[in-house]
Structure 1
Amino acid sequence: MRWMQLSGLALIVIGGIAQGFFSSYIEFFNGKYETPAIGIIILGGIILVISFFGCCGAKKENVFMLRIFGFLMVIVLLLECAAAITVLVMKTDIKNLVKRNMNETMDKYGDPKNLYFCCGTEDYMDWNGTTYGMNVSGVPDTCCKNIVGGCGYKVFDSPSKIPTTIYTTGCFQALSDSAHAKLGAVIGGIVILVLLQIVGIWMSCWLIQAVKERYEVL
């Protein structure tokens, strides 16, 4: 059952890496760290704890602990399936939530944000409808391709210079593209994890039966 411990540790590491990605866009999650990556880290911790029962049960040939391990793994597997279905069903709502948080963040603009080669929510023109954008007739300096003090000031007064001065792609699209680029690895990791869990459940059932047969012979 040690591979379950390794998978738990792997999830914690993956969650930490994912949290590093989300932290770059933390202002779009209400400025809090309750991002999807935290769920991955928590899941890894739960699997790590559950694997303890599997390892101890296998080593001591304890049927009770093996049953607890198998039961908890089934529960975790069902919860994962429920979470996946929920994400698929609420996909549109999640997108709308992120967009709303983006717009609210823009309207409350203060200190420069690190938005990674993007500007606005849908595009740079979103800034034209904010208090900050109207006051300076432009965008934050973080929208500039070459960031220098005041580089975003009055860019709307010189439309021809906009393509060379600032990023025109919206941050929602940038966030989506970045997430999609990592989607394949995430899906692959989830599939491997589910397969490991299924193997773990099967092995716990096999060990329970083997231990019972052994003691029946004795």
Structure 2
Amino acid sequence: MADAQLTGCGPLTIKYLVFFFNLIFFLSGLILIAVGGVAQGFFHQYMQFFEGQYETPAIGIIILGAIILVVSFFGCCGAKKENVFMLRIFICLMVVILMCEIAAAITVAVLRPDIEKLIKKNMNETMIHYGDPKGLPTLAWDDMQSNHKCCGVGSYMDWETTPYGVNVTGVPDSCCIDEKPGCGHNIFVQIPSDSSSVPTIYSEGCYQALHDAAMSNIGAIAGGIAGLAFFQILGIWMSSCLIKSARERYEIL
């Protein structure tokens, strides 16, 4: 009676739930690698403003995804064979990953103000080096201003005191709504005395645009990790139930 109960649908259901969970976990590892790739592409695109320091978290997400692929292997094999040793390894690795994710979330939350100050500082400093057509500051600023439809750090007036702004008495052409060679020149001469904006160039500063773009990426990453953490906790619980079921079965046999 007891043997039949242990081999009934309860333990069998848990076994296949753990196996199915690990398939989802495997796919989540692939998703994390993809998300890390997107984040890495964003940080790499504007590395001039991050001093190369925040490339590491994106790479870390990719590494975490690869680790999850390995961990899911132990989970799948452990569930399929009902191997207590492999299931225990799986649970230990899951707990470690979960703790790393929590630590990473806390670190990002604590360092966020410092990151924002650093970005703004670097943006102001790189404006000074704008002008060389092949220089990284020039390429980064032109790309950002064109793609995000913005100009300067806080506003287009930030260009007025830069070497480039003094030279052309204006802003880069990438600030223009209708971008063409020389369209940003002599802008500061054309500003009406009763106006703080110019209709031919973008009025929003790029810091806010870059901040919003970064937050949208971080929001997607945070949401993905939160969902993954839920499935991890569920997987740990189901694996523990499967271990208990397997041990009771072996004791009866």
Normalization by structure 2: what TM-score?
A: 0.77
Matched, 1:76 2:97: yes
Distance in 2, matches of 1:86 and 1:22, equals 18
Q: Does 1:64 align with 2:93?
A: no
2:116 to 92, 95, 110: 95
Amino acid at match of 1:74: V
1:178 alignment counterpart: 213
Q: In 1, Cα distance between the equivalents of 2:56 and 2:186?
A: 35
Please say which structure displays the higher CA radius of gyration. Answer: 2
What's the offset of the Cα at 1:180? 4.0
- Contact kept? 1:144, 1:152, Cα under 8 Å: yes
The reply on whether 1:145 has 2:180 as its aligned counterpart is no
How far apart, CA to CA, are the structure 1 residues paired with 2:34 and 2:90? Answer: 23
Contact 2:40 2:55 in 1 (8 A): no
Using the aligned pairs only, state the percent identity: 58
Change (3 A) 1:183 1:90: closer
The amino acid of 2:185's aligned partner reads Y
CA offsets per residue over residues 170-192 of structure 1, 9 Å max, x none? 11101122344556544432221
Q: Evaluate the alpha carbon distance shift between residue 34 and residue 20 of structure 1 in structure 2; reply closer, same or farther with a 3 A threshold.
A: closer
Q: Give yes or no for the alignment of 1:167 onto 2:202.
A: yes
SS at match of 2:199: helix
Deviates more, 1:160-169 or 1:134-143: 160-169
Q: What amino acid maps onto 2:76 in structure 1?
A: C
The correspondence for 1:108, drawn from 116, 119, 129, is 129
Residue segments in structure 1 that go unaligned for 5+ positions in a row = none
User: Per-residue displacement from partner, 1:79-100 (whole Å, max 9, x unpaired)?
Assistant: 1111111111111101011112
Q: Is the Cα contact below 8 Å between 1:22 and 1:35 reproduced in 2?
A: no
1:200 counterpart = 2:229: no
Change (3 A) 1:144 1:35: farther
How does the TM-score come out when normalised to structure 1? Answer: 0.89
Q: Does the residue aligned with 1:165 lie in a helix, a strand or coil?
A: coil
Query: What secondary structure is seen at the aligned counterpart in 2 of 1:114?
Result: helix
Instruction: Give yes or no for contact 1:29–1:35 (8 Å, CA) kept in 2.
Output: no
d(CA) in 2 for partners of 1:93, 1:48: 33
- What code does the residue aligned with 1:58 have? A
Match of 2:136 in 1: none
Structure 2, gaps ≥5 residues long: 1-21, 134-138
* Paired residues, number: 218
Q: 1:32 to 1:82 in 2, by over 3 A?
A: closer
- The residue identity in structure 2 corresponding to 1:117 is K
Shift of 1:19: 3.6
Q: Alpha carbon RMSD of aligned pairs, Å? A: 2.2
Question: Does the C-alpha gap of structure 1 residues 201 and 95 become closer, same or farther in structure 2, counting only changes over 3 Å?
Answer: same
